[in-house]
């Protein structure tokens, strides 16, 4: 891919600035909220135009779609359909789960009704059959889309009766079954994060990055769920780990550092080993899934796999490598079966690489959720270039 020349990029930058200025001048009669949305969108477009001049890019990383709201999860079905989700972290988003259409637009999925929750209407909308605040989406390769809803807007207290795992049939585009996660499994400070489905379809495994951190197992036959390794060192943040972004420690406006427990999760191709890591951590663990499949089973001891770094998403490739979303390096790294870690690609557009998915053609999809640019760590958004990318490893 040939990069734009300096003169061309500067022209684009200048032209875009003129468009932004002209648009701002024409917004005088528009409501303030609409003005802000329009200006933010134009700012994001301008940043994308000048990125080749100011940042480091890898030509293998291709832009698939851009979004107006913060995106976290992505998944691709066996027939190539793409799905994403938008959490309710800093705003009351209009769509929680969406299908990305071929032209890059999004369509609420499975329908408008499931996406009709609004925080301002929470007293009148039932949390059991609406997406409250979705964190991840995963297609199982066997005709179903699975949606993890921790039901904790702004990552705060869970909404009563809201935490759930939802199975959607991709053929009928209708919800097939909802697995409610009860309060004794997903308590008030819980935050269900990501999920993997066993190859035989019998169990679902989720990380809980809330308090206390842990793993959650769902028996997809009975619908019963239980916690494993809850408050265990393997599922907790590591106190000596500092999350770095842009070359400096990531801190909230009041000085607090992020303290996220068990987050990324991966499952071996045969379904026999589950891998996970705390986001505020540098140690990856694994355990045999047979030790997770009975509630209350004793002597559940995980193994340390490797020393890594703070990462968000994990993905197990067909070759047995584990892809790591490197937060501090704006990169995708790879943990090989022999324990060595190398860098697959680095790109400044990957601000907080979040979640991975693999397409039927072997392409790896990854979202950039810009968490370090969010109001959690700044006085408002500093960048809103929410993007879905893909690359061939």
* pLDDT value, residue 17: 45
* pLDDT value, residue 48: 54
Q: Which of the four pLDDT bands, split at 50, 70 and 90, describes residue 318?
A: confident
Count of H-run helices and E-run strands, the chain: 2, 26
DSSP state of 88: -
Region 308-337: mean pLDDT is 97
Region 141-147: mean pLDDT is 98
| Cα distance between residue 197 and residue 295, in whole Å | 17
340 by Cβ neighbours in 10 Å (0-12 / 13-18 / 19+) ranks as: exposed
| Cα distance between residue 201 and residue 49, in whole Å | 44
* pLDDT value, residue 13: 45
CATH architecture of 58-391: 6 Propeller (2.120)
* pLDDT value, residue 199: 97
* pLDDT value, residue 24: 44
* pLDDT value, residue 384: 95
| Cα distance between residue 236 and residue 259, in whole Å | 9
- Dihedral sign (CA 384, 377, 118, 36): negative
Q: Is residue 1's pLDDT more than 50?
A: no
The model's pTM:
0.88
Q: Which of 119-123, 223-227, 244-248, 357-361 has the lowest mean pLDDT?
A: 119-123
Share of the chain above pLDDT 70, in %: 86
Query: pLDDT, tens digit, for every residue of 80-116?
Result: 999 999 999 989 999 999 999 999 999 999 999 999 9
Taking the domains of the chain in order of start, what are their residue ranges? 1-54, 58-391
Task: Using alpha carbons only, give the angle 208, 320, 346 rounded to the nearest 5 degrees.
Answer: 75
β-partners of residue 78 are: none
Region 225-238: mean pLDDT is 97
Q: Which of the four pLDDT bands, split at 50, 70 and 90, describes residue 217?
A: very high
Region 265-284: mean pLDDT is 98
Region 225-242: mean pLDDT is 97
Contact 106, 84 (CB under 8 A): yes
| Cα distance between residue 8 and residue 12, in whole Å | 6
* pLDDT value, residue 328: 97
Query: pLDDT, tens digit, for every residue of 166-202?
Result: 999 999 999 999 999 999 999 999 999 999 999 999 9
Q: Which of the four pLDDT bands, split at 50, 70 and 90, describes residue 29?
A: low
- Mean pLDDT for the chain? 90
């Amino acid at each position: 891919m040939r990069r734009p020349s300096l003169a061309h990029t500067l022209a684009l930058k200048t032209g875009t600035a003129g468009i932004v200025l002209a648009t701002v001048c024409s917004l005088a009669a528009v409501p303030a909220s609409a003005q802000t949305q329009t200006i933010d969108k134009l700012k994001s477009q301008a940043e994308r135009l000048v990125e080749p001049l100011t940042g480091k890019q890898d030509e293998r990383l291709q832009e698939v779609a851009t979004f107006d709201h913060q995106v976290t999860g992505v998944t691709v079905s066996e027939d190539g359909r793409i799905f994403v989700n938008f959490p309710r972290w800093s705003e009351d988003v209009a769509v929680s789960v969406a299908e990305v259409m071929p032209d890059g637009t999004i369509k609420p999925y499975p329908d408008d009704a499931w996406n009709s929750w609004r925080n301002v209407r929470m007293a009148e909308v039932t949390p059991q059959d609406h997406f409250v605040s979705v964190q991840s989406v995963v297609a199982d390769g066997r005709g179903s889309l699975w949606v993890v809803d921790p039901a904790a807007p702004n990552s705060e207290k869970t909404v009563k009766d809201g935490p759930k795992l939802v199975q959607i049939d991709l053929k009928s585009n209708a919800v097939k079954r909802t697995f409610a996660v009860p309060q004794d499994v997903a308590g008030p400070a819980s935050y269900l994060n990501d999920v993997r489905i066993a190859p035989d379809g019998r169990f679902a495994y989720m990380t809980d990055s809330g308090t206390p951190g842990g793993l959650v197992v769902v028996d997809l036959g009975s619908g019963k769920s239980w916690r494993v390794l809850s408050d265990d060192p393997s599922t907790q943040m590591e106190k000596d780990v500092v999350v770095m972004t842009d070359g400096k420690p990531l801190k909230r406006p009041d000085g607090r550092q992020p303290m996220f427990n068990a987050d990324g999760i991966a499952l071996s191709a045969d379904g026999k080993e589950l891998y996970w890591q705390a986001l505020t951590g540098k140690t990856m663990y694994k355990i045999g899934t047979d030790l997770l499949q009975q509630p209350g089973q004793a002597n559940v001891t995980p193994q340390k796999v490797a020393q890594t770094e703070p990462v968000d998403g994990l993905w197990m490739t067909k070759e047995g490598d584990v892809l790591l979303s490197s937060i501090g390096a704006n990169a995708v790294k790879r943990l090989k079966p022999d324990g060595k870690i190398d860098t697959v690609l680095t790109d400044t557009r990957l601000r907080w690489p979040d979640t991975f998915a693999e397409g039927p053609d072997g392409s790896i999809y990854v979202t950039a959720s810009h968490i370090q640019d969010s109001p959690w760590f700044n006085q408002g958004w500093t960048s809103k270039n929410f993007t879905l990318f893909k690359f061939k490893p």
